[in-house]
């Protein structure tokens, strides 16, 4: 995926925002509640599918090469194979789905909120599947601990990301 220099700079800038908001964590057992999902939604809503997803990929690459950008300052490939790895991979699908839904028609606030909620659900889906597989939890425990527990906070973060992303995009286009 080749991006113009301006879009590469935006993608790098939002990768830093995602990394920064990843450090806002509330421990809830194996999976913490973080600002990552808000930042991912904001990046894609503001930048669009292509550049927003590139910012997510840059963020993941920074963490994989050892920079402490994942939740709680974690890094490395071990995090990807740990209980939270599915959520990290889910961010890519979140970006693609949210961005694609925003590209269909005019991206107003309601469409933005619905697209971000769908993206957040994609993150939770992949995260829950990986949680079940990587920890050998029962399906009930994985769904309750990896999906249901985060559903309301992620919907709230998705709505906030959509609102802020569209608001900023409208203001900065003038």
Beta strands in 6-104 (DSSP E): 25-26, 33-34
Q: What is the pLDDT along the chain (174 residues), one digit of tens a residue?
A: 688 999 999 999 999 999 999 999 998 878 889 999 999 999 999 999 999 999 999 999 999 999 999 999 999 999 999 999 999 999 999 999 999 999 997 778 999 999 999 999 999 999 999 999 999 899 999 999 999 999 999 999 999 999 999 999 999 875
| Residue-range domains of the chain with CATH | 5-172 (1.10.1760.20)
Could you tell me the two tokens for 89?
A: 């991979």
CB neighbour list of residue 122: distance below 8 Å, 6 or more residues apart = 90, 93, 94, 97
Q: 25 — phi, psi (to 5°)?
A: -130, 145
């Amino acid at each position: 995926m080749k991006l113009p220099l301006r879009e590469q700079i935006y993608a790098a800038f939002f990768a830093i925002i995602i990394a920064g908001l990843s450090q806002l964590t509330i421990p809830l057992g194996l999976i913490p509640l973080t600002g990552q999902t808000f930042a991912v939604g904001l990046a894609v809503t503001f930048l669009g599918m292509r550049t927003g997803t590139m910012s997510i990929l840059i963020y993941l690459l920074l963490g994989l090469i050892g920079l402490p950008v994942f939740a709680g300052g974690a890094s490395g490939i071990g995090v990807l194979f740990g209980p939270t790895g599915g959520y990290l991979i889910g961010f890519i699908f979140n970006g693609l789905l949210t961005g694609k839904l925003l590209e269909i028609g005019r991206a107003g606030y309601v469409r933005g909120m619905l697209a971000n909620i769908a993206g957040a659900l994609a993150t939770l889906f992949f995260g829950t599947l990986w949680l079940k597989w990587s920890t050998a939890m029962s399906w009930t425990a994985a769904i309750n601990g990896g999906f249901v527990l985060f559903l309301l906070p992620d919907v709230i973060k998705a709505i906030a990301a959509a609102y802020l992303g569209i608001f900023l995009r409208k203001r900065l286009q003038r």
